[in-house]
Amino acid sequence: MFHYCCWPQSSLPPFPLDPIKIAPHIYELKFENDRIRVIEQILRRGDTQPLHAHPDRLLVYLQTCAWIEDDGHGSKRMQKFKYGDVAWAAAETHGGSNPEVVQECRILEIELP
């Protein structure tokens, strides 16, 4: 089983903010062992993401999708990805808002210790 205790401190998300536990309506564990954890995220119109944390991770987009997000400085920006796109995402803590989903999005998040 994958344990947050074993991650490098630089990417360690606080265990209580594990997205699978905080938002099971958005995040689902697909695979886990002591070397990797794979989570499926589904962004849907109307879903609110509570505050949660992620370690550094690789994102694989399973369908074309788009959403509008607040940049934290009073502006909004469109995020768009195509089926098969792959992106790196640095560790972050975020949530508490409902992204304006334009097109439902399915993403595999691959986390390494």
**Which pLDDT score, from 0 to 100, does residue 97 have?**
67
pLDDT tens track, the chain, 113 positions: 444 444 444 444 446 899 999 999 999 999 999 899 999 999 888 888 888 999 999 999 999 998 887 766 778 888 899 999 999 999 988 887 667 888 889 999 999 87
Q: Look up residue 107 and give its two tokens.
A: 């993403």
Q: Which of 108, 21, 22, 110 is nearest to 65 (CA)?
A: 108
**Structural domain tally of the chain?**
1
37, 29 Cβ separation under 8 angstroms: yes
**Which pLDDT score, from 0 to 100, does residue 79 have?**
86
The 3-state DSSP class for residue 106 equals strand
Q: What is the CATH number of the domain that holds 28?
A: 2.60.120.10
Domain range holding 29? 4-111
**Which pLDDT score, from 0 to 100, does residue 16 have?**
80
